[in-house]
Amino acid sequence: MASLVGNALIGQSGGPTCVINQSLVGIVEEALSKREIKNVWGAVHGIKGVLEERLIDLGRETKETLEAVAVTPAAALRSVRKKPTREECEKALAIFKAHDVRYFFYIGGNDSAETAHLLNELAVAQGYELRLFHVPKTIDNDLRVTDHCPGYGSAAKFVACATAGDDLDNRSLPGIKVNVVMGRNAGWLTAATVLARQRDEDGPHLVYVPERSFSLDAFVGDVDRVFKKLGRCVVSVSEGVHTADGKLLLESKEIDSHGNVQLSGSGALGDHLADVIKKRLGEKLRVRADTFGYLQRSFAGVWSEVDAAEAREVGRTAVRNAVSGDRPHGSVVMKRLASGKDYRVSFEVAALENVAKVTRPMEPHFLAGDNGVTDAFHEYARPLVGKLPTLGRLSDLPIRR
Amino acid sequence: MASLVGNALIGQSGGPTCVINQSLVGIVEEALSKREIKNVWGAVHGIKGVLEERLIDLGRETKETLEAVAVTPAAALRSVRKKPTREECEKALAIFKAHDVRYFFYIGGNDSAETAHLLNELAVAQGYELRLFHVPKTIDNDLRVTDHCPGYGSAAKFVACATAGDDLDNRSLPGIKVNVVMGRNAGWLTAATVLARQRDEDGPHLVYVPERSFSLDAFVGDVDRVFKKLGRCVVSVSEGVHTADGKLLLESKEIDSHGNVQLSGSGALGDHLADVIKKRLGEKLRVRADTFGYLQRSFAGVWSEVDAAEAREVGRTAVRNAVSGDRPHGSVVMKRLASGKDYRVSFEVAALENVAKVTRPMEPHFLAGDNGVTDAFHEYARPLVGKLPTLGRLSDLPIRR
């Protein structure tokens, strides 16, 4: 395809991750190396920044600043949760034309892929040549086509470390502990709480994900069984668990413009489950609940080195494909070439419409019954979190009298 | 003083920390090097394990196991929340005599110091020669006499990293964010959420501690003022905040045998504050609350290297003093010799009764008004958390048209 000369614009959208800025920096450094790209700009707060023409120059940032930004959590360009209307898409495209923006990279999840798809359809309809890429990120890991999503490995490492430490805390002071994990549609992140387990008796002992319907009776029965056996019980529950009729356990009234209910930023689900356990199993039991909350996606200084490197490469891949023009638009996906110790992936391009809107649940072979995960899930997820801390334990040797 | 030959016993008590096992290993390695100490044993679950004679041999653990345990969060010996009765103290002492325990080290907070004090008083009254040390730990940093407590620096690092990341997340998707931090009697840990701030506009913008009485009206007014100025607001609130009449904002009915109310393990306080903000400032505002919960004291893989080294040395110091007999019983305290870049401490011994029971609030010169901390607090706390992650930010340079 003929080369296309113009300016490049980057936006970040949706809930940020710890490595979303790796993708940003990957795009910037690759774009700066291409003679087809005149300027590399950022839109502040994603599509909202495009519409308000809040554009900043990324090409003039120092290498040092960019590398510091790459290891900093949250969206350096700032983010937005907004699905543009048809009129807003037209306005955005007019702004692209006015600024000779010929390359647009939108870093985000499936909602952002939808925004990218809408803009692309309109550009095609208007005959405006635009190379447009969705660059995936999401701690939820719920994008289709790709093996896994940049952002997931780091969040998975966080929840694995949090759960392993919390399980040891619960071993110190035994009781029942409920931990609520992010993931409104899929259980990928909740399932990852198992990844630092070392022994059979280690928690989490029970894992509940939205892919299985949730019954309070079964839940209380499961907890009671584990508690009677081990004298303690650590539970991981996805914020998105719902009953057999599809209702979320706790429905909130706050809904964003993509139609998503607010689940995070509240301890209500965990507190509710702790209350139910106490009421049914005994008010004197030591029952605690924590909601891991925003720390899962924003904690400063903890990330998966594998995830960080992949997030960077996903950004670079988008630019390479956009500039070569072989695939003028699409979403970057990873294909797994090998697992285990030889783990590696290739970076490819999928059609936008195959990534947008619809989310990907955990496949059945990753789930064990209604409250656990399989070895296949361990094999899938373990390489993504990189190095985990070494945890030691006393041997509890008898004393010699 | 004459040398005393016998066995050494170690217990861990109260809420664990990320470095409480550093103190354990410090005691074990120092005790193993002393010819006066025949065996080094651990009591499983603290004083409860003593009473049940659940003793394990620590002297036969490998160096490798001990070093792995040292960097593992939570109490490797397992913990307990229990204040022994007079009868139980007598029973414990009888067990010490039966096993020729002449050295007892109890790692814990002020409640554990009280237990140690009770045991010591009884040993003195009975004329049983016992070298008995309280080895301090608490993320709350609320022990008297010592400059600061082992465990605080690591928890302070955790909440500083959590808040810095969360603040960037809030900068990405602006709104009002309330973070609830542990500390039932003192605001030390809540105050530490400021330690990774880099710029004036960085959060946390407001900090509420139990040392100042809390008014919902003032709180809402403060949040409104910051939000109007910055378009967002990140707040740190101690779980122990209370109104002017001394009542906790949310009282729970669960009380342990030391008379402590259960505050942690519930999202109720954060959710309540978020609700109040929405009701008074507008239901459409994006308001979120997180309760940092048990992650503050148990997250695997994040600790302050300064705190870890001090926790180890505090354990060693207890053994050295116990064996030399110059101070046959007491609590190990740290005295600060220099602050800033030259930060260093000495390790000394205080009387048990000066550390037990009563807690230490933040001194007034660390607090700025009702909702902030002073530079003096930064100077005090910054050396304790060790290395913090580098956080980068874009320069937001204008584009050239």
The confidence band for A257, taking pLDDT boundaries of 50, 70 and 90, is low
Q: Evaluate whether residue A393 is within a structural domain.
A: no
Q: What is the per-residue pLDDT for A252?
A: 47
Structure confidence at residue A108 (pLDDT): 96
Contact in structure between B79 and A173 (CB atoms under 8 Å): yes
Nearest to A161 among B290, B292, B300 (CB): B300
Q: Which CATH number goes with the domain that contains A237?
A: 3.40.50.460
Q: Which of A69, A173, A301 sits opposite B389 (nearest CB)?
A: A301
Tell me whether residue A390 is in a domain. Answer: no
Work out the pLDDT band at B249, boundaries 50, 70, 90.
confident
Shortest distance, CA A277 to any CA of chain B (angstroms): 14
Residues B349, B284, single domain; the answer is no
Q: What is the pLDDT of residue B263?
A: 58
Q: What's the pLDDT at B252?
A: 47
Q: Based on the domain organization, do B13 and B124 belong to the same domain?
A: yes
DSSP A262: P
Mean pLDDT value of segment B8-13: 98
Q: What pLDDT does B231 receive?
A: 98
Question: Do A104 and A346 form a contact (C-beta atoms < 8 A)?
Answer: no
With pLDDT > 70 as the criterion, what percentage of chain B qualifies? Answer: 96
Same domain, B198 and B313: no
Neighbours of B8 (CB within 10 A): 28
Token readout for B306 is: 């300064």
- Within-domain flag for A64: yes
What are B178-220's pLDDT values in tens digits? 999 999 889 999 999 999 999 999 999 999 999 999 999 999 9
Same-domain status, A18 and A38: yes
Give me the mean pLDDT over the A16-39 stretch: 98
Residue ranges making up the domain that contains B195? 157-301+363-385
C-alpha distance from residue B315 to each of B178, B182, B312, B355 (Å): 37, 25, 5, 16
Statement: residue B226 has pLDDT above 80: yes
Same structural domain, B280 and B319:
no
State the pairing for strand pair B55-57/B37-43.
antiparallel
Residue B317's closest CA among B341, B343, B348, B353? B348
> Would you call A68 and B177 a contact, using CB atoms and an 8 Å cutoff?
no
Query: Both B369 and B347 in a single domain?
Result: no
Task: State pLDDT tens for residues B52-100.
Answer: 999 999 999 999 999 999 999 999 999 999 999 999 999 999 999 999 9
Task: Cite the beta strand spans of A321-390 per DSSP E.
Answer: 329-338, 344-350, 367-368, 372-373
Model confidence over B313-350: pLDDT tens digits? 999 999 999 999 989 999 999 999 999 999 999 999 99
Is residue A1, in this structure, part of any structural domain at all?
Answer: no
Q: Is the pLDDT of residue A264 over 90?
A: no
CA Rg value for chain A? 23
CATH number at residue B89: 3.40.50.450
Q: Which of A111, A140, A167, A222 is catalytic?
A: A140
Give A-chain residues touching B300 at CB under 8 angstroms. Answer: 161-162, 164-165, 168, 196, 388-389, 391
Residue B391 to residue A15, Cβ atoms within 8 A = no
Residue B356 — very low, low, confident or very high, per pLDDT cuts 50/70/90? confident
**Per-residue pLDDT at A249:** 80
Q: Is residue B235 part of a domain?
A: yes
What is the band of B245 on the pLDDT scale with cuts at 50, 70, 90? confident
To the nearest whole angstrom, how far is the Cα of A263 from the nearest Cα of chain B? 10
Check whether residue B138 and residue B178 sit in a common domain. Answer: no
Kindly state whether residue B393 falls inside one of the protein's structural domains.
no
A290-348 residue pLDDT tens: 999 999 999 999 999 999 999 999 999 999 999 999 899 999 999 999 999 999 999 99
pLDDT band at A253 (very low <50, low <70, confident <90, very high): very low
Kind plus residue range of the DSSP H or E element containing B176: strand B176-181
Provide, for chain B, the percentages of residues in helix, strand and coil under a 3-state DSSP scheme, each rounded to the nearest 5.
40, 20, 40
pLDDT-derived band at A247, boundaries 50, 70, 90: confident
Query: Considering its fold, how many domains does chain A have in total?
Result: 2
Residue B400 lies in a domain: no
Give yes or no: residues A215 and A254 share one domain.
yes
Q: What is the C-alpha to C-alpha distance for residues B44 and B142, in angstroms, rounded to an integer?
A: 25
Please report which confidence band the pLDDT of residue A117 belongs to, taking 50, 70 and 90 as the band edges. very high
pLDDT for the residue B251: 61
Whether residues A137 and A255 fall in one domain: no
Task: Note whether A294 and A259 are same-domain residues.
Answer: yes
Q: Are A178 and A278 in contact (CB under 8 A)?
A: no
Query: ipTM of this model?
Result: 0.95
List Cβ neighbours of A263 (8 Å cut-off, separation of 6 or more): A182, A184, A239, A240, A248, A252, A269
> Does some domain include residue B394?
no
Residue with tokens 């139910």: A276
Together in a domain, B331 and B368: no
- Is A140 a residue of the active site? yes
Does B297 lie in the same domain as B164? yes
